[in-house]
Structure 1
Amino acid sequence: MASLTAGNRRPVRLADIAKAAGVSHGTASNVFSRPEIVREEVRERVKAAAEAMGYGGPDPKGRLLRAGKVNAIGVATAEPLSYFFDDPFARVMMASISQACDATGAGISLVSAANNEQLAWNIQSALVDGFIVFCIEGGSRLVELARERKLPFVALDLDSQDGAVAAIGVDNVAGASLAARHLTGLGHRRFAVLALSFADGSTGLVSPEQVRTATYAGTRDRLTGYFQELSRVGVDTSRVPVYETANDAASTKAGLETIFAAKEPPTAILAMSDKIALVTLEWLSARKLNVPKDVSVVGFDGVPEAIVSEPPLTTIAQPIAEMGRLAVKAILESDGKVSRQLLPVELIVRASSAAPRG
């Protein structure tokens, strides 16, 4: 940190402190960076000069930039900062990223913003060696900004069709197919889908055109997996309501109100996230609808909350912790090559799914 010399002409520098204390520049530097190798009387003299001149020590950013590495990773999202703490998937991912960083001594910088302008500034000014990008809403913009920094980055999603984007994700079609196959195997034929976002800022019942032009391939792929499996057993997917949520309680409840207002409500709900599924369990319970006797529910993620929900949630488990570990490794051990890793998913059957009544 630098302060101003008399008359506010220029900032006080380490060289000024060295001169005032009557020591070399190297000795003054060691007082702040390696004090144990400097005699106590010299240390005290340099510190006294620094205090008198209002100098707080060298700017750590300069030292880090000169070294070429800052030993820190930026974790970026276009969501508000609270996303990292409120979303069950994000919490598990951040725990894994933190553990991997702790093991290597690396730091973490959380990068988010309320608008695109602020997001661009935060990405450009972040003092990091690379970025882990949460490719949820605004993901393509994040990738673009991270790429402009010319630092290593990895997207926690395989949405991007750009083979030049390093990514870690799962096979969404295969995972969704597992969920639907589990329910059709139990005998369900009346379904509804509570979806993640197909495009920015929209919620409500989704038309085939909206699916076809979806911004987010991950959402489209999960619906493809559901519908492929439902079609295989003769379900007319054009009659299956698909409600796009914002992956929050308000839009999920609005979707459930719409879906269960139908003459023949579903006996099974396919939820594209565990967060959506957990809200669904609470909504159904509040309306005295028994899960799984009246309605079966299957989520997608495998978050810890799914184990202790009432009833425990059947879900498609992603290897979230492994994804976080691999993302940290991809940044800290980057060799300049682009890697796209597809990880397996697993169907975890619990008490929220069973055969329909009758």
Structure 2
Amino acid sequence: MASFTAGNTRPVRLADIAKAAGVSHGTASNVFSRPEIVREEVRERVKAAAEAMGYAGPDPKGRLLRAGKVNAIGVATTEPLSYFFDDPFARVMMSGISEACDATGAGIALVSAGNQEKLAWNIQSALVDGFILFCIEGGPRLVELTRERKLPFVALELGSQDDTVSAIGVDNVAGARLAARHLCELGHRRFAVLSLAFVDDRTGLVSPEQVRAALYTGTRDRLAGYFEELSRVGVDTANVPVYETENDEASTWAGLETIFASAEPPTAILAMSDRIAMIAIEWLATRGIAVPRDVSIVGFDGVPDGALCEPALTTVAQPIAEIGRRAARRILDFDGMVRRETLDVELVVRASSRPPTRV
């Protein structure tokens, strides 16, 4: 941390303190980094000189950079910083990352920004050994910026076929099949889908052409899994409304308003995240539409909040915390290899799904 002498714009350096205290540069350095090997009388003299000159100690950034490792992981997203605390999926993921970091004494730096210029600066200036990328939106840009740092990084749910990008996630097609199969076996045939983003900064009903042009193949894969199962039981998927949300209240409400304006509203909703599903349950309750009596809902994620909502949410659970732990260890124990790892999911049946009242 640089300090300044009175009347002088030059920062006070450790060499200045050593000269003022009448000791060598090495001794002055040891006072701040290894005080136990310096005699008490010398320590007090150096500290007194430092205090008189307004010197708080060596810049820790310089020491860390000289060591070549800062023992910290950057967790990056293009979402606002509040995403890490507000989103139930992000909270569970961070608990897994934190557990792995606690085991080694490593730190965590949260990296986010509301615009591209600030994001670039935050990525470039972060004092970390590598990055875990929450590629919810702006995934390609996150990858581009972290590549420029030439540090190891791991993408979570990137949905990219780029084999040069390390990634940890789940089989979205298989997970979506589980959700749709469950509802089909209950007897549902009128469906709607509340989706995550196919591209950045867009919401609304999605056409087949827009699905094929999806930037986020994870979202596209979930829809493919849903439609495979629906087609298997004779549902015409061309008539299934797919509403693209931003995984938030405003866009989910707008989607439900659109879907339930239909003359034949769905008896079952496939939601691509638990957050969307829980928002939908609240919206339906305010309209007097009971879940699951009138509409069944199945989410996707398996966040703890889903078991506590009313009714408890049926969902496709992915091992969120384990994904976070593995991603963190991938950075902390980086061996130079690119790895893409797919973990299993499971269907957790709770109270938000049941056979339709009227078929």
TM-score in terms of structure 2 length: 0.98
Equivalents in 2 of 1:277, 1:36: separation in Å?
58
1:129 match: secondary structure: coil
Residue of structure 1 equivalent to 2:226: 226
Q: 1:68: how far off?
A: 0.5
Q: Is the 8 A contact 2:159 2:216 kept in 1?
A: yes
Q: Is the 8 A contact 1:158 1:170 kept in 2?
A: no
Pair 1:269 & 2:258 matched: no
Equivalents in 2 of 1:171, 1:147: separation in Å?
25
Whichever residue aligns with residue 289 of structure 2, its letter is L
Residue of structure 2 equivalent to 1:44: 44
Q: Is the 8 A contact 2:17 2:49 kept in 1?
A: yes
Equivalents in 1 of 2:128, 2:242: separation in Å?
41
Q: 1:283: how far off?
A: 1.1
Whichever residue aligns with residue 54 of structure 1, its letter is G
Pair 261,6 (structure 1): closer, same or farther in 2 beyond 3 Å:
closer
Equivalents in 1 of 2:2, 2:121: separation in Å?
24
Q: How does 1:314-353 map to 2 (within 5 A)?
A: 314-353=314-353
Structure 1 gap ranges (5+): none
Residue of structure 1 equivalent to 2:4: 4
For residues 35-60 of structure 1, the C-alpha deviation after alignment (integer angstroms, 9 at most, x for no partner) is 12222111110011111111110000
Q: What is the aligned residue count?
A: 358
Q: Is the 8 A contact 1:296 1:354 kept in 2?
A: yes
Whichever residue aligns with residue 48 of structure 1, its letter is A
Residue of structure 1 equivalent to 2:302: 302
TM-score in terms of structure 1 length: 0.98
Residue of structure 2 equivalent to 1:71: 71
Pair 1:20 & 2:14 matched: no
Q: Is the 8 A contact 2:292 2:351 kept in 1?
A: yes
2:160 match: secondary structure: coil
Whichever residue aligns with residue 243 of structure 1, its letter is Y
Q: 1:254: how far off?
A: 0.7
1:76 match: secondary structure: strand
Residue of structure 2 equivalent to 1:356: 356
Equivalents in 2 of 1:51, 1:284: separation in Å?
64
1:8 match: secondary structure: coil
Residue of structure 2 equivalent to 1:131: 131
For residues 284-336 of structure 1, the C-alpha deviation after alignment (integer angstroms, 9 at most, x for no partner) is 11112121111100000000110011000000001001000000100000011
Q: 1:7: how far off?
A: 5.1
1:74 match: secondary structure: strand
Residue of structure 1 equivalent to 2:96: 96
Equivalents in 2 of 1:290, 1:253: separation in Å?
16
Percent of aligned positions that are identical: 79
Whichever residue aligns with residue 104 of structure 2, its letter is T
Equivalents in 1 of 2:276, 2:261: separation in Å?
19
Q: 1:242: how far off?
A: 0.5
Q: 1:9: how far off?
A: 5.5
Pair 1:278 & 2:260 matched: no
Q: Is the 8 A contact 2:158 2:216 kept in 1?
A: no
Equivalents in 1 of 2:148, 2:292: separation in Å?
49
Whichever residue aligns with residue 90 of structure 2, its letter is A
Whichever residue aligns with residue 280 of structure 1, its letter is A
Whichever residue aligns with residue 148 of structure 2, its letter is E
Equivalents in 2 of 1:274, 1:81: separation in Å?
20
Residue of structure 2 equivalent to 1:191: 191
Q: Is the 8 A contact 1:292 1:353 kept in 2?
A: yes
Give the stretch that moved more between structures: 26-35 or 74-83: 26-35
Pair 1:120 & 2:126 matched: no
Whichever residue aligns with residue 220 of structure 1, its letter is R
2:109 match: secondary structure: strand
Equivalents in 1 of 2:9, 2:299: separation in Å?
63
1:265 match: secondary structure: coil
Structure 2 gap ranges (5+): none
Equivalents in 1 of 2:289, 2:5: separation in Å?
73
Give the stretch that moved more between structures: 16-25 or 295-304: 16-25
Equivalents in 2 of 1:145, 1:106: separation in Å?
23
For residues 103-129 of structure 1, the C-alpha deviation after alignment (integer angstroms, 9 at most, x for no partner) is 110000000001001000000000000
Whichever residue aligns with residue 59 of structure 2, its letter is D
Q: 1:3: how far off?
A: 2.1
Q: Is the 8 A contact 2:139 2:158 kept in 1?
A: no
Equivalents in 2 of 1:320, 1:147: separation in Å?
25
Pair 287,33 (structure 1): closer, same or farther in 2 beyond 3 Å:
same
Q: Is the 8 A contact 2:203 2:251 kept in 1?
A: yes
Equivalents in 1 of 2:82, 2:308: separation in Å?
23
Pair 1:32 & 2:25 matched: no
Q: 1:20: how far off?
A: 1.0
Equivalents in 1 of 2:180, 2:234: separation in Å?
13
